[in-house]
C-alpha cells in the first residue's frame, strides 16, 4: 500500500487499519513492516489517496 501526494492528513483511514500500520501526523504514513496489504484503509480514504 502507498499513500499518494494528494493525502491531506485527515486521518480518516487510521482507525480502520486492523493492524495499526497507519499514522497521520500531517500526511498519513503506512508502516510497510506492519501492513498486511488488506486494503481496508483504501475503502475509507475520502480522497482515494491510498493505492496498492
> Mean pLDDT, 10 residues at a time, over the chain (52 residues)?
92 96 93 96 94 87
9: left (phi over 0), alpha (psi -120 to 50) or beta: left
| SS3 (DSSP) at 19 | coil
Q: What is the pLDDT of residue 27?
A: 93
pTM of the model: 0.84
Domains of the chain: residue spans and CATH? 2-51 (3.30.70.20)
Phi, psi (degrees; rounded to nearest 5) at 16: -95, -5
The CA R_g of the chain, rounded to the nearest whole Å, is 9
Q: What is the pLDDT of residue 52?
A: 83
Amino acid at each position: 500500500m502507498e499513500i499518494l501526494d494528494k493525502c491531506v492528513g485527515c486521518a480518516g483511514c487510521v482507525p480502520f487499519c486492523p493492524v495499526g500500520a497507519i499514522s497521520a501526523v500531517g500526511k498519513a504514513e503506512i508502516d510497510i513492516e506492519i501492513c498486511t496489504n488488506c486494503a481496508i484503509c483504501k475503502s475509507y480514504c475520502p480522497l482515494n489517496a491510498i493505492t496498492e
